[in-house]
């Protein structure tokens, strides 16, 4: 995997992320989900060669499942 390919994927995702930020027209909002989507999309693009759309139901289901798994692991680690 070349460095240029990685940079292109990251740049593409940055553009999509900035587009989401601009939609809020300077109003405050929680962008943590947007960051998770962006990072997940970069990883997906590099590993699978495919970028998901932010409203893709399968992609959102996978992210929700990973979030539940991470929270579950956190709760077990804290006990």
**What global pTM score does this model have?**
0.68
User: 4-8, 64-68, 72-76: which has the minimum mean pLDDT?
Assistant: 72-76
**Per-residue pLDDT at 66 exceeds 70:** yes
Spatial contact of 75 and 69, defined as CB atoms under 8 Å apart: no
């Amino acid at each position: 995997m070349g460095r240029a390919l990685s940079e292109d994927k990251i740049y593409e995702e940055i553009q999509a992320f900035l587009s989401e930020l601009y939609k809020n027209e300077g109003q405050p909002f929680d962008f943590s989900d947007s960051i998770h989507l962006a990072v997940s999309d970069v990883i997906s693009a590099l590993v699978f060669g495919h970028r998901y759309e932010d409203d893709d139901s399968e992609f959102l289901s996978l992210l929700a499942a990973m979030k539940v798994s991470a929270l579950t692991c956190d709760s077990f680690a804290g006990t």
